[in-house]
Structure 1
Amino acid sequence: MRIRPAAPADLPLLQDIERAAGEPFRTLGMTEIADDEPPALELLERFRKAGHAWIAEGDQVEGSGGRPVAYLIGEPVDGAFHIEQVSVHPDAAHRGVGRTLIAYAADRARGQGLTGLTLTTFTEVPWNAPYYERIGFRPLTDPELTPGLREIRATEAAHGLDRWPRVCMYRATT
């Protein structure tokens, strides 16, 4: 597996990965999440230009020929690197691809002097909060939320994501 910065030509492939990664939500009755459109190309390009869009490529998906199988986008928020999205194609799941992307983001964040990683996620989806706890993230309490995280959560709520329980999580980069 190789991690590299996303290139402009990769961005439509990231949308394809996102669509595929959303499909398992159907099994949990979360069809709105499965049907949600992936990030727009303009948004992906904003993360890419900022140097905060990385892809994993390799042979995790048979016949992928080194094409992207996962991606991570994010940005600094209040002294930490906030993971906006990390998605792994289901055919590459359970092979450490997401964990490797997160470790890569942690290394980049540490190099920029950021103290940790943050993300928001669903608490009751097995490959969301329970997974992140297994790889070292911890839930943040309400008093621990920074202004930027509160703004992110408010935006998520406005988009209807609070229909299912959500949580903000943190992991130190050290």
Structure 2
Amino acid sequence: MTIRPATATDLPLLQDIERAAGEPFRALGMPEVADDEPPALDLLERFREAGHAWVAETEEDGRVIAYLIGEPLDAAFHIEQVSVHPDAARRGVGRDLIAYAADRARDQGLAGLTLTTFAEVPWNAPYYERLGFHVLAEPELTPGLRKIRAAEADHGLDRWPRVCMYRATTDPAQGLDPGR
């Protein structure tokens, strides 16, 4: 697998990946999440133009199997979306994309990664905890994370428990982890 910056021609593929990655939510009684439209092409293009959209592709045939988009937010890199096609799930692709984003964030002087996710979906918060993220308590939320959570609530995502999470991009022993 290779991770590289997304190209303009990749963007429709990212929408296809998002649709496929949403299907497993149906089995959890979350059909609204499964049916939610993927990010619009103009939004994906905005992340791509900013240099904050990356894809994972297979070494064998160069097929795009996953993507991650995000942006700097309140001194961290906020992962807006990371999605892996179900055909490529459970192979460490998401983990590798997150590690790649952490390296890019560290290169930009950002000490951590943030994301928002479903608290009880096995491939959401429990998965991110295994990757070193921790749930932020309400007083730890930055203004930007509060704004994102409000937008998610307006979109109806609060029908299911959601959390904000943080992971340092640096060694916490160096004193550069503002999340803990």
TM range (shorter): over 0.9
> 2:144 is matched by which residue type in structure 1?
G
Partner SS, residue 132 of structure 2: coil
In the alignment, does 2:30 pair up with 1:39?
no
Q: Scaled by the length of structure 1, what TM-score is found?
A: 0.97
Q: CA deviation at 1:81?
A: 0.1
Name 2:113's counterpart in structure 1: 117
| Residue number among 93, 96, 100 corresponding to 1:100 in the alignment | 96
Partner SS, residue 71 of structure 1: strand
In the alignment, does 2:64 pair up with 1:82?
no
Q: CA deviation at 1:25?
A: 0.3
> 2:169 is matched by which residue type in structure 1?
T
Q: CA deviation at 1:67?
A: 1.3
Q: How does 1:161-172 map to 2 (within 5 A)?
A: 161-172=157-168
> 1:14 is matched by which residue type in structure 2?
L
Moved over 6 A (4+): none
> 1:29 is matched by which residue type in structure 2?
G
Partner SS, residue 71 of structure 2: strand
Q: Scaled by the length of structure 2, what TM-score is found?
A: 0.93
Q: CA deviation at 1:144?
A: 0.3
User: 1:67 & 1:151 partners in 2: Cα distance?
Assistant: 35
User: How many residue pairs are counted as aligned between the two chains?
Assistant: 170
> 2:141 is matched by which residue type in structure 1?
L
> 1:164 is matched by which residue type in structure 2?
W
Give deviations 1:66-100, integer Å, cap 9, x for gaps: 11100000000000000000000000000000000
User: 2:36 & 2:66 partners in 1: Cα distance?
Assistant: 18
Name 1:25's counterpart in structure 2: 25
User: 1:79 & 1:68 partners in 2: Cα distance?
Assistant: 30
